[in-house]
């Protein structure tokens, strides 16, 4: 079966021409539908770059290779087109949007995606009901959803709001970038519960994390080690535990 996300020999650089610095260097990775893959790696390995290149952030130049979602080359698409195709990034540092209430923002996004896919807009009552249900799952205060996006939110609230958006938008492919950073153990559990609720045979996930801790709660099917811009090792869930015990140097030394 064709993998849902297929990355082949992907290279990417950041910065302007002469200053350009290669971050991804021949990265290949397959994530089939229904699976959760973790990407671990030391600081500066290119983890966040991978998430930005996949979602189309400007400032990154793809210098080689390909990435397809369900067989479609996503690297040529606008960020919003990728989103409409089902690509979702849970940001490591969620962005504040003053003056735009959460509900307005998410409803605008949802309808934009639906429109792009040729679907009808969601009605106001349906949206509010769905929002209420999701908020309940995540222990989110309904009042919070009336406030401007991420403005004055704590680190934990921001991460929970990312998961709220994910559950509202029901993307096909999820990228979680350092979702555990800044979370206390209770918030981590809530967030993990939300992510686990999204696990589905039709959905793929890429969980990017620096620490193994998150993987205690979100059990990955595969663990990949990213270093120097490429995947240098792939294993089962227990690879994460080994990395925790032996450190990246130990595992990397063995791979090199």
Q: Are strands 204-209 and 222-227 parallel, antiparallel or unpaired?
A: unpaired
Site string for other proteins, 145-164 (x = CB under 8 A): ---x----------------
b vs e for 171-192, b when ≥16 Cβ sit within 10 Å of the residue's Cβ?
A: bbbbbbbbbbeebeeebbebbb
> Closer to other proteins at the Cβ: 58 or 256?
58
Is position 256 an interface residue for other proteins (rule: CB under 8 A)?
A: no
Instruction: Give the Cα separation of 86 and 173 in Å (integer).
Output: 6
Question: In this chain, which stretch among 23-31, 112-120, 178-186, 226-234 interacts with other proteins, using CB under 8 A?
Answer: 112-120
DSSP state of 45: S
Q: Are 156 and 184 spatial neighbours (Cβ–Cβ below 8 Å)?
A: yes
Among 109, 122, 198, 237, binds other proteins (CB under 8 A): 109
Is position 58 an interface residue for other proteins (rule: CB under 8 A)?
A: yes
Among 16, 19, 43, 98, binds other proteins (CB under 8 A): 98
Is position 75 an interface residue for other proteins (rule: CB under 8 A)?
A: no
Is position 60 an interface residue for other proteins (rule: CB under 8 A)?
A: no
Among 91, 153, 164, 173, binds other proteins (CB under 8 A): 91
Q: Where are the beta strands (DSSP E) in the chain?
A: 5-14, 21-31, 36-40, 60-69, 72-73, 87-90, 97-101, 148-149, 173-177, 204-209, 222-227, 230-235
Is position 83 an interface residue for other proteins (rule: CB under 8 A)?
A: yes
- H helix or E strand, kind and range, residue 241: helix 238-255
Q: Are strands 230-235 and 222-227 parallel, antiparallel or unpaired?
A: antiparallel
Among 94, 204, 220, 229, binds other proteins (CB under 8 A): 94
> Closer to other proteins at the Cβ: 148 or 235?
148
Rounded-to-10 torsion of CA 20, 21, 22, 23: -130
Among 128, 138, 169, 198, binds other proteins (CB under 8 A): 169
Is position 165 an interface residue for other proteins (rule: CB under 8 A)?
A: yes
Is position 112 an interface residue for other proteins (rule: CB under 8 A)?
A: yes
Is position 122 an interface residue for other proteins (rule: CB under 8 A)?
A: no
Instruction: Give the Cα separation of 44 and 163 in Å (integer).
Output: 25
Output the smallest distance, CB 164 to other proteins, in A: 12
Residues of this chain that interact with other proteins (CB under 8 A) are 55-59, 78-80, 82-84, 88-89, 91, 94-100, 104-106, 108-110, 112-113, 116, 148, 165, 169
């Amino acid at each position: 079966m064709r993998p849902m996300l297929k990355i082949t020999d992907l290279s990417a650089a950041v910065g302007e021409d002469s200053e350009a610095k290669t971050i991804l260097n021949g990265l290949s990775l397959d994530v089939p539908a229904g699976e959760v893959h973790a990407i671990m790696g030391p600081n500066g390995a290119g983890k966040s770059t991978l998430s930005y290149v996949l979602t189309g952030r400007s400032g990154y130049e793809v210098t080689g290779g390909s990435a397809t979602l369900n067989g479609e080359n996503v690297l040529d698409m606008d960020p919003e087109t990728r989103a409409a195709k089902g690509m979702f990034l849970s940001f490591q540092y969620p962005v504040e949007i003053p003056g735009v209430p959460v509900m307005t923002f998410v409803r605008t996004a949802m309808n934009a995606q639906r429109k792009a896919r040729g679907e009808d807009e969601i009605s106001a009552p349906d949206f509010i009901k769905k929002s209420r249900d999701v908020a309940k799952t995540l222990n989110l205060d309904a009042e919070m959803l009336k406030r401007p996006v991420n403005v004055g939110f704590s680190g934990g609230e921001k991460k929970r709001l990312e998961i709220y958006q994910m559950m509202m938008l029901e993307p096909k492919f999820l990228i979680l970038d350092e979702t555990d950073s800044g979370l206390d153990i209770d918030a981590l559990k809530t967030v993990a519960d939300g992510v686990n609720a999204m696990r589905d045979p039709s959905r793929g996930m890429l969980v990017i994390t620096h620490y193994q801790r998150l993987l205690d709660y979100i059990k990955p099917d595969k663990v990949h080690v990213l270093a120097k811009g490429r995947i240098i090792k792939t294993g089962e869930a227990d690879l994460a535990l080994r990395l925790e015990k032996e450190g990246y140097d130990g595992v990397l030394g063995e791979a090199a």
